[in-house]
């Protein structure tokens, strides 16, 4: 598989989830693990450009895929457009949900289509912010569509 542009090949235990593989084997701990059962969306990453929950995929299922985690989206001093918009809008409080939201938002922007705030709320409904800071998150994504 390819993770953030780097090729990786090797064996993984059948029962290892993709999020555990990313965090424990590749030490990419920016992918956060919340509910671990497909409800909270914190572990969302991009798999072949699509937002996927890395806690609900086995690592072995990612064989041959191209993955992008938060570590592949930008870095301090060189933030992605979305990250900069999140910062500008203060679209995070504790920050735990942020990597997942950024992955979901990246798929939305990648589509090249423009959505209303209402549609964006629906499209981001697979991610939960327990600080309940949804307004600035939706605003940040909405702004990036322009």
Partner 1 sequence: MFPRAFEYVAPASIEEAIAALKGSEFAKVMSGGMSLLPLMKLRLVSPELVVDIGRISGLDSIDDRGDMVSIGALVRHYQTAEAQNVPRALAQAASYTGDVQVRNRGTTVGAVVHGDLAADQPSAVLALGGVIVAQGPNGTREIAADDFFVDALTTAVEPDEVVTAVKVRKDGMSAYDKLGRRGGRTDYAVAGAAAWLQKDNGSISDARVGLTGVAAKPTLANATAEALIGTDGSDQAIEEAAAKAADGLTILEDLYGSVEYKTHLARVFAKRAIKRALSA
**What is the C-alpha separation between 16 and 130, in angstroms, rounded?**
27
Which range, of 54-62, 66-74, 78-86, 135-143, touches partner 1 by CB under 8 A? 54-62
Residue 120 token pair? 């964006």
Cβ proximity to partner 1: between 5 and 64 the closer is 64
**What is the C-alpha separation between 139 and 30, in angstroms, rounded?**
23
Quick check: 93 and 133 in contact, CB under 8 A? yes
Which range, of 9-17, 66-74, 88-96, 129-137, touches partner 1 by CB under 8 A? 9-17
Q: Indicate which single residue of 7, 15, 113, 146 sits in contact with partner 1 (rule: CB under 8 A).
A: 15
| Nearest distance, CB of residue 60 and partner 1, angstroms | 6
User: Of residues 82-141, which lie at the interface with partner 1 (CB under 8 A)?
Assistant: 104, 107, 122-126
Quick check: 41 and 82 in contact, CB under 8 A? no
38 HSE (CA, 13 A, CB side) = 4
| Nearest distance, CB of residue 79 and partner 1, angstroms | 23
């Amino acid at each position: 598989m390819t993770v953030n542009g780097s090729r990786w090949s090797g064996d993984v235990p059948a029962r290892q989830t993709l999020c555990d593989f990313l965090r424990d084997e590749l030490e990419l701990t920016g992918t956060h693990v919340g509910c671990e059962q497909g409800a909270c969306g914190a572990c969302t990453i991009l798999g072949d450009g699509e937002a996927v929950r890395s806690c609900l995929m086995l690592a072995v299922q990612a064989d041959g895929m191209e993955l992008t985690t938060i570590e592949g989206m930008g870095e301090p001093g060189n933030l992605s457009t979305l990250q900069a918009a999140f910062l500008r809008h203060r679209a995070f409080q504790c920050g735990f949900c942020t990597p997942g939201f950024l992955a979901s938002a990246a798929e939305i922007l990648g589509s090249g289509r423009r959505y209303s705030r209402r549609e964006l709320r629906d499209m981001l409904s697979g991610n939960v912010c327990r600080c309940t800071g949804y307004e600035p998150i939706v605003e940040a994504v909405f702004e990036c569509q322009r």
